[in-house]
Structure 1
Amino acid sequence: MQAVTWHGKRDVRVDEVDDPTIQEATDAIIRVTSTAICGSDLHLYELFGPFIDEGDILGHEPMGVVEAVGSEVTHIAPGDRVVVPFNISCGHCFMCTGDLQSQCETTQVREHGTGAALLGYTKLYGQVAGGQAEYLRVPQAHYGPIKVPDGPPDEQFLFLSDVLPTAWQAVAYAEVPDGGTVAVLGLGPIGQMSARIARHQGAQVFGIDLVTERLEMAARHGIEPVDIGDHEDLAAFLRDQTNGRGPDSVIDAVGMEAHGSGAGKVAHALVGLLPDKVAAPIMVKAGIDRLAALHGAVEIVRRGGTLSISGVYGGALDPMPILQMFDKQLTVKMGQANVRRWVDQLLPLVLDEADPLGVADLTTHRVPLAEAPGAYEMFQKKQDGAIKVVLAP
């Protein structure tokens, strides 16, 4: 089969690889019909070479049709159409039964002290072959895959794999008061959907970015677009819009791709030049992120407010303004999305013909799997209005 594979920094290729097979009784094999590129994939494209091997298959946002199932998989069968969550969880351990599927004790990567295994990611999260491929082996398939109806286009359901649950959790963690205000930093796919979900739930939403196409997309969905470039003092502007206090909540949907923190950028670049055996412990024990967005969120949110972090950070020694956070009496919530926790709330909205979350208006590019290398470059460089790129095997 064909699959998108990692070969080095900014070097992904479409290779011929072996078809996956059933290895455990809880496995399933799906024929992938759509699979998306995520902002987290760009971390592998750019930063995490020490924890990934040449030829590893990327991708963690797939859906498709079931081809085969193991003997312990009973809720789906060959021919079913399914979406596959990006986190691999068992459904029956202490963490899963507590709706913390991203911390699943069955698939935790204890070697590296990390949470549940993920599709298509690094050794830090299990190094499981990903879904940017023609076929995918799905571990823990007795629990993970989400069965969806035939008929509607893939993009109506595809984002249940990651984007929608991540955005829903970001809003839930933001704890926006009824009729309150929330600022969303970063209007990539997660930021777009976080803003729409918060708006759907009745909040006043400020969508903050510097890319024109992203601001325009947000505005189409009732979000108040705020171009960073138009405001020398963003916090002061937002206070002026919110009775002098600042937003009740801020969602950081940017993460380590934030611009503006030169020291962190240099640190990432230097680590990338080191041999893997040297670089790996430095990234784990002494990593520093580019923190402009996160520090900005602390500055923007009102006193007594809540900061929800859905953007991914990878540093171990990230400096945080604890004095300011303590003084402002902030609540901070964060973490990988617990996909299955939120599906029952999301599926009715996705199935609603009125499309209340505007799911149909998120994909900007759908390209053949064979064109994945160019699609990665386009997405990373924010070219051609790219906001969400879907690959078609």
Structure 2
Amino acid sequence: MTDHLGDLAAFIAASPSSFHAADECARRLEAAGFSRLDETEEWPAEAGKRFVVRDGAVIAWVQPEGAAGQTPFRIVGTHTDSPGFKLKPKPSTAAHGFLQAGVEVYGGPLFNSWLDRELEFAGRLVTLDGDEHLVRTGPFLRIPQLAVHLDRAVNEGLRLDPQQHLNPVYGLGDLSTGDVVGHLAGLAGIRASDVAGYDISVADTAPGAVFGLDGAFFAAGRMDNLVSVHAGLAAVIATPLAADHVSVFAAFDHEEVGSETRSGAAGPFLADVLARIGDGLGATASQRLRAFAASWCFSADAGHSVHPNYAERHDPANKPVMGRGPLLKINAKQRYATDARGAAEWARACASAGVAYQEFVSNNAVPCGSTIGPLTATRLGIRTVDVGIPLLSMHSARELCAVGDPADLAAALTAFQQA
């Protein structure tokens, strides 16, 4: 557990943006003997361990000896992005002696949690020649909160206007002192005038930390959903070539804003990869349908632990607690894709791994979120189960879990991949 948690902390630290997360996955996959493929080239048909990166998303798979057109898939689906802020076009401004960056809200972050933290910019720059450059600043900016002396009613209710109050400061002076894009270009070793586009996120820079009585807790940024990405990656890396199915790890981008992109779960990425694997196996249309009918997908995303200060927000009979195992996520409206057969498949995986698990269902008066699970089930017709670890402070700049839950999730996903 300690080794897994330390590796998770290192993975999160290396992944301040979805593009960095995909790059870190690629680095670890190559170190484990996976071959990187290019979508514009022919792919090999023989057995092997391979992966492909599409922008901030990555899909890896283990194709065993003897696989055929009707061989089923066992898929772990996750996402690389997290709620926060993105850099706007023409982002640099100067006001009242401060340099500020214009940012746009991405997903559904808890605004107040981003105040008074040392933050960084991270993502990719694309130059006029089409080259892509990953870049990160390290601690560089901060969204300062107004002092209580200037807002005596702040503790009675804090309201943050996302346009007015969430522009971070990054320096003193005027625009001649330095602009954001110019600084990022300098870090990447390129000229600012050559930057033709960018996808830059804001990320918390504080490292992951274990704390509490007997080290009960682990806190870090972006655990939703890098905990699942890390666990799914570990599972596919541990999967041997000897199996009766193709093991797949899919980490999509843009889940926090609906997934409707070329690298999101509502897009064609997974379907494209599965089709090309099937083509290499000589699959007929009938064999593809047979393969999908026998396949499974575990959609791994963070879920909610009961909050001890707000227990009334949870279902009275279903109050999962951090540290008592990962979650099976259930919703009658199919905002989670789990059904009875899926629950049984998850139970088998957890039993094989020796891991306890808990059910999560929403309070009827509290709207339920969703995941990539229903999207995958709808697009591909593959049975899908929604699972994940319980968190507190979900969508905060810094989230909280129990120290043992990430390793338990990885063990259950590994058992599923190797079943």
TM-score range, shorter chain: under 0.3
Give me the TM-score of the superposition, normalised by structure 1.
0.27
Structure having the larger proportion of residues in strand:
2
Higher relative contact order (CA closer than 8 Å, sequence separation 6+): 2
Give me the TM-score of the superposition, normalised by structure 2.
0.26
Structure having the larger proportion of residues in helix:
1
Quick check: which has more Rg, 1 or 2?
2
